Amino acid sequence: MVAPKHVGIIPDGNRRWAKENLKNFLPAYSSGGDNLVNSLRYLFSRGVECVSFYGFSLKNFKRGEVEKKIIFKLIDNYFSKMEALVDELNLRVIFAGRIEKFPESLFKKFKEIEERTKDRERVVIPLIGYDGLDELEFAAEKSKKNGGTLRENLFVPTSVPPVDLLIRTGDEHRVSGYLTYLTTYSELYFSKKLWPDFSLRDLQSALDWYTPRERRFGE
């Protein structure tokens, strides 16, 4: 099987899963976080070189203060698990988005792990405080001010390949501004399952679906 170089994940459905299972947001996001760690380990074991995922969109900052505090706390709690996985698999971490909008304690952790892992080859990219149009506007303004192409001024460096396979759970059929510049020719895989219920078997099904695709890149 020829693995995609870059797999993107939109892990949608945590809040709906909480409602359907009569739980509050905390166990829903906790289950989703565990699933993400397992999914990352599996994808890299299958030969994928880069995995990106939506962690927190720029628009999510508009959510209620209670829910945001829960999410920030979970991000902080899962940071140690993610850091252990990153070191175990020798991954580079690149955060895409407006990470300066997060609490100072999280912002410092984000910058520290980026610096510590910058020389590694395989990459994991959390989209944190991210919006596709915001990234393009940011890159355009930076290009105008400092020079360079639009691609050279995106949140992610030019070494990051385009997204080959974009997986979205939760039965939503849209890309929600996901790495807009890098998803022009992505193969889109949609699952009806909510993210906490999306198993490794489901993940393998997505990879199997991708393998026979004939990619023409607009030609």
* Digit-coded pLDDT (tens) for 135-180: 999 999 999 999 999 999 999 999 999 999 999 999 999 999 999 9
Catalytic residue among 14, 34, 35, 60: 60
pLDDT digits 0-9 by tens, 82-103: 899 999 999 999 999 999 999 9
CA–CA gap between residue 114 and residue 111 (Å, rounded): 5
Catalytic residue among 12, 131, 134, 197: 12
Residue 40 lies in a domain: yes
Residue 218 lies in a domain: no
Which pLDDT value is given to residue 144?
A: 95
Q: Which range is least confidently modeled, 9-13, 22-26, 194-198, 209-213?
A: 22-26
Reported residue count of the chain is: 219
Owning domain of residue 164: 7-201
Which pLDDT value is given to residue 9?
A: 98
Which pLDDT value is given to residue 140?
A: 97
The neighbouring-strand residues paired with 10 are 168
Long-range contacts, 75-81 (Cβ 8 Å, 24+): 75/102, 75/106, 75/128, 76/105, 76/106, 76/109, 78/33, 78/37, 79/106, 79/109, 81/33, 81/37
Q: Which range is least confidently modeled, 99-103, 105-109, 129-133, 209-213?
A: 209-213
Which pLDDT value is given to residue 213?
A: 78
What CATH number did the domain enclosing 68 receive? 3.40.1180.10
In order of 106, 111, 130, 173, the CA distances from 99 in angstroms are 8, 9, 8, 27
Residue 114 lies in a domain: yes
Contact 9, 35 (CB under 8 A): no
> Residue 12 catalytic?
yes
Residue 17 lies in a domain: yes
Which pLDDT value is given to residue 127?
A: 96
CA–CA gap between residue 136 and residue 150 (Å, rounded): 8
Residue 2 lies in a domain: no
Tally of domains in the chain: 1
Which pLDDT value is given to residue 73?
A: 84
Residue 177 lies in a domain: yes
- Asked if pLDDT for residue 132 goes beyond 90, the answer is yes
> Residue 38 catalytic?
no
Q: What is the DSSP string of 82-121?
A: HHHHHHHTT-EE--BS-GGGS-HHHHHHHHHHHHHTTT-S
pLDDT digits 0-9 by tens, 17-69: 778 877 776 776 778 888 999 999 999 999 999 999 998 899 989 988 887 88
CA–CA gap between residue 190 and residue 5 (Å, rounded): 19
Residue 146 lies in a domain: yes
Residue 76 lies in a domain: yes
